[in-house]
Structure 1
Amino acid sequence: MTKPKRNCTSKHCPNALFLMFPTQDIPAILAKPYFNPTSLHSEGFIHACSAHQVDYVVQRFYRDILDLTLLVIDPQLVTAEIKYESASVSEYGDFPHIYGQLNIDAVVQQCLLSDFST
């Protein structure tokens, strides 16, 4: 995968899922065929979010990280099961959880958080 794209939008893939990471971590994540974070082993799934949940997740978990990159995931390409489940913050709807390792070929785009718009 190449450098993050500018002007990233969810319009080209309206059902896209999003994962976010410090930009410096992206090359190591994308270098392997599958992504297996610690949450997969400790909780049984990978936390993801939908486009309308990105701002909430950033403010809740990543507000002190200035350089974030979003991985845009096409859910139709994900080989693991995806379940939409309620969270403690109901106004943002159900959050997507990926129940298994994420095949990296489901990542269709990456973009800097500063270039993202819904």
Structure 2
Amino acid sequence: MPRKIISVGTIAASIAMLLGVDGRHAFADDLKKLSGAQIRAKLAGKQFTDEVHWRDVYERDGTFRGYSMGRKSTGKWSIHGDELCLELPAPDDGCFEVTASGRRVVMTPMGNGLVIEGVIEPISDPK
């Protein structure tokens, strides 16, 4: 009887399915913590978005514009050490550690709050 050859990828996918591992996090190890200068270079003049529900615009002059489900918020953004800090009405203000891999960015709050994941892209509207 001939042997059936099973690839390592098939085995890994089967194990991940059994364990309930989400494939989106498969490349989480590629994320690198950004320094303050790297955060500024990554965000200034760009928008951070989930490409559907919200987008945050980081103007080069430190102005912040957020759009979420038809609601607009404004404030300021700045870099303090190696953290991105937002000056917005509570509870949306605070500082974040920023990690990235290519266009993908993850912002982890330094206090209470949820981790925010999205992509960086050119600003889609004029000021």
Higher relative contact order (CA 8 A, sep 6+): 1
Identify the structure with the greater strand proportion.
2
Could you tell me the TM-score, scaled by structure 2's length?
0.28
Identify the structure with the greater helix proportion.
1
Which structure would you say has the larger Rg? 2
